[in-house]
A and B are shown apart, each in its own frame.
Chain A
Amino acid sequence: MKISLFATLRDRANARSIEIALDKPTTVAELRKIIVAQHPSLAELLPQALVAVNQEFAFDEDRVGPDNEVALFPPVSGG
């Protein structure tokens, strides 16, 4: 599945998105571990990174699956 990246995470990966192998739904906490395992370059930024699922902030116990729109980004700094 595709995970969109923004700001610091996009720069670190040098890509607007990454692909991860995930064939069945899991939790956001588990998704974070999978991302670190499959994309170690993001490991340092991941603890502070926020996860959005279907354009809503998602939390560790929330479910996420291959059909969801998922994004990973740092705390926001707009305005």
Chain B
Amino acid sequence: MNDTPTLIALTEAAIDLNALQRAVTTDLDGTVVAFVGTVRGVTPGAAEPVTTRLEYEAYAAMAESKLRQVANEMREKFAGIHGIALTQRIGEMAVGEPVVAVLVSCGHRGGGAFEAARYGIDRLKQIVPVWKKETRPDGSAWVEGDYVPTRGD
């Protein structure tokens, strides 16, 4: 049995959370933490609060390599975790659809899976070259990222 399955995917297909959960779960695990990012339809307080859909684009080869780097960093920082799945969907997505998933399995709920999943989604949003274009009732625009990479990223 592989005690440390790592699943990396950049895909146009819908995210199958049940399949990912099965894939990261080893016989050593009693816990799976799943972070799921979805398309938010309303952002209260924003100048134009309504989002109709999001369109995702990626620099595919580099994105896959950076997803792998995020998984490696998760393993270095959280030694107790076992399985990792990092899935970023690209293409056009409607409000409510899952766009990104980070799943981490672990023996127990206190073994670092929550922290590792949080680290994983934060890092993914910093260094994986994916961009989203937001369509609102008044038009569409690229969403601006704000993280500037430094050496080692």
CA distance A6 to B90 in the complex (A): 14
Total A-B residue contacts, Cβ distance less than 8 Å = 81
Q: A4-B59, A79-B130 are in contact. List 4 more A-B contacts (CB 8 A).
A: A8-B142, A77-B125, A78-B131, A79-B121
Minimum Cβ distance to chain A for residue B128 (Å): 5
List residues of chain A with CB under 8 Å of any chain B CB.
Answer: 4, 6-8, 10-11, 50, 52, 55-57, 59, 71, 73-79
Chain B residues contacting A50 (CB-CB under 8 Å) are 148-149
Report B52-80 residues with CB < 8 Å from chain A CB: 56-59, 61-63, 65
CA distance A76 to B131 in the complex (A): 6
Chain A residues contacting B132 (CB-CB under 8 Å) are 77-78
Q: Are B124 and A71 in contact (CB under 8 A)?
A: no
Q: If the complex has contacts A7-B142, A8-B142, A59-B151, are A79 and B129 also in contact, measured as CB distance less than 8 A?
A: no
Q: Are B59 and A77 in contact (CB under 8 A)?
A: no
Interface of B is mostly: mixed
- Does B117 count as interface, using CB distance less than 8 angstroms? no
CA distance A50 to B129 in the complex (A): 10
From B57, B128, B143, give the contact of A6 (CB < 8 A): B57
Q: Are B131 and A77 in contact (CB under 8 A)?
A: yes
Chain B residues contacting A55 (CB-CB under 8 Å) are 59, 61-62, 65
